[in-house]
Amino acid sequence: METNNKLKILKTGTTTVGIKVKEGVVLAADRRASAGMYVAHKYVRKVLYIAPNIGITTAGSVADLQFIYDLLKNIYHYNLITGMRPITIKALATYLANMLSFSKYLPYIVQILIGGVDEQPRLYNLDYVGDITEEDYTATGSGSVEAIGIIEDEYRPDMTLDEAADLARRAIFSSIKRDPYTGTGVIVSKITKSGHEEKEYYPQRKI
């Protein structure tokens, strides 16, 4: 009698967006968590903060993302507690890329955007094998195809932070309409050197 011992992999999805402009960086993400075709949670937070001026978006395995987020926060705050210079966004992204590359044969299943402002606005896209690219704008997750089309059509290097935030919101709303793994609403965060301002948006209503 044959038995099928293949590991069943549940498809998960999300849509996250990052946009860099002269004033700062916008990070945005939807709020749905999925496990296969099941909506596991309707109000998940996928925009997190390492410091007031540094944020990340999360896509992938929740357990892996929680570990990486805690690790990055610990590294940043260790420097502050010990009196060392606050770590730069580029250094955080490079450290994470090296860690992901080192563990590529037993990978952390994640795709992460790291963005914020230190000496200048920075936005990095990292995947689970340690690839790292610095971007002006990008989208990740199962709804990225829908989102990136909106962004690419309307992005301008000279757009304001408010215009970038509105563009990110509309890009993820387009994914909510077409991608079954993206849903509920959108968190949009505007990050500058002095901190961040966050708003939540939902279809047909605004908070």
Q: Where in the sequence numbering do the catalytic residues fall?
A: 14
CA contacts within 13 A on the Cβ side of 184 = 21
60: left (phi over 0), alpha (psi -120 to 50) or beta: left
Q: Which residues contact 181 (CB under 8 A, 6 or more apart)?
A: 11, 12, 13, 14, 32, 34, 141, 142, 143
Distance CA 185, CA 108 (A): 26
**Residue 181 DSSP SS3:** coil
Amino acid at 113: L
Amino acid at 154: E
